[in-house]
Amino acid sequence: MKRFLLFTICCISISVSAQDLTGIWRGGFRSTAKNRLMEMLGQDDRYKFEVQIDQQDKRFSGVTYSYLTTVFYGKATCEGTVNPTTHKVLLEEIKIVEQRMSGGGGICIMTLFLQYSKVGEEEFLEGTYSSMKTSDSTDCGKGTVFLRKVPTSDFYKEPFLVEKEKEAEKNPPPPVAKKIDSAAIVKKTTPATKPPATVKKPVTGTAKTTPPVKKPVTTPPANNTAKNNAAVKKPTLTPPPPTTKVPEPNLATKPLVDSAKKVEKPIVTAPPAPVPKILLTRENELVKTITTSAKELNIRIYDNGAVDNDTISVYLDKKLVLSKKRLTEKAITLTVKLDDDENYHELVMVAENLGEIPPNTSLMIVDAGKQQYEVRITSTEQKNAVIVFKYKPGP
């Protein structure tokens, strides 16, 4: 019984450690839009956000940075909890410890409700936040948050992270790759011993014996000449009867056959649109499908998180519409129209590079009438991101 309890405790500790948030997380937060005109001008409230976390079991502590640049920022201490079952994360800013802000305005602290996810080797924290002023606890706004785990800081690495990195260097994990290498060597040696060289000898012997048997059998030259003479005589007798009968009844039918052929030609000659090579050589992953009754979609594309020179190209229905555009805090705009005839569009985002912090990440905001969609996109040099727009007329 004691062994069973120890085993269950070990399993719980493994599940908790598998979701280790210790490290640097960077991205941004965006306040809920209150003014549609500000959105159209691309002047919505978007700020950079960095969190450095030191996790111990299900609890963690750390610091946060809210900033537009590394010159004007606010730094706060934080603490929170992690649910290893649901992967939900609660982060609360406790106290402002450093402030370098331009202009006036009250100081606000945030409470974040996040969801942890992992896609391949990339780790993300995404969710919502609420905030209040430290002076009188009044509402300071709310919005959305997106963070990605990164190796470097825009400021400096906290001492608790530096110490953990030193401990990791002193106590490296045991190498597991040796077992895989030995298995691979065994697999490589097996095909080398399989092919025998003795199979080819009986094949060549049978091939040499067959031709002399066939050559003496072919003796009937006279029969072939007789058949050829008969074949020459037959076409001379057949042409005169059909030539007199065919032209008279077919004079009226010829223009009908020609007119039918002329109608079919323009349908066959329509060439299909060529597919760009970059859409064929990379994997195209469907990220989101948006079904809407709006006939015009206004699309804005930003760099998601820190601006690190990410560059993209955008294809709409396999046609290049944006070429090698650098993502920044200022929106890149695009308009897509939908109707009953053009009720399906496929937008593909291609990463032209991975920026300073791989992979290439972007935030796409789609305004479809009264509805708004946010799509967070990750693309690499092996995989493109696909967003599908479908038109469905309203009631």
pLDDT number for residue 306: 75
Quote the strand ranges of the chain, DSSP E: 23-31, 46-56, 59-67, 73-83, 88-100, 108-119, 122-133, 139-150, 283-292, 296-303, 311-316, 319-326, 332-337, 344-351, 360-368, 371-379, 383-391
> Cβ distance 79 to 111 under 8 Å?
no
Q: Which part of the chain is CATH 2.60.60?
A: 277-391
Select the CATH number that applies to the domain covering 19-169 from these four: 3.20.20.140, 2.40.128.120, 3.40.366.10, 2.40.50.100.
2.40.128.120
| CATH code, residues 277-391 | 2.60.60
Sign of CA dihedral 57, 63, 68, 69: negative
pLDDT in tens, the chain (395 residues): 445 444 444 444 444 345 789 999 998 888 875 544 444 444 556 788 999 999 999 999 999 999 887 777 899 999 999 999 999 999 999 999 988 876 556 789 999 999 999 888 889 999 999 999 888 888 888 889 999 999 999 899 999 999 988 888 888 766 655 555 544 444 444 555 555 555 444 444 444 444 544 544 444 444 444 444 444 444 445 555 555 555 555 544 554 545 545 555 555 555 666 889 899 899 999 999 999 999 999 999 998 877 888 999 999 999 999 999 999 988 999 999 998 888 899 999 999 998 888 888 899 999 999 899 999 898 988 999 999 999 988 87
CA 51/CA 80 separation, integer angstroms: 12
Secondary structure (3-state) at 286 = strand
Q: Which part of the chain is CATH 2.40.128.120?
A: 19-169
Overall pTM surpassing 0.85 (yes/no): no
pLDDT number for residue 111: 96
Based on its alpha-carbon atoms, the radius of gyration of the chain, rounded to whole angstroms, reads: 36
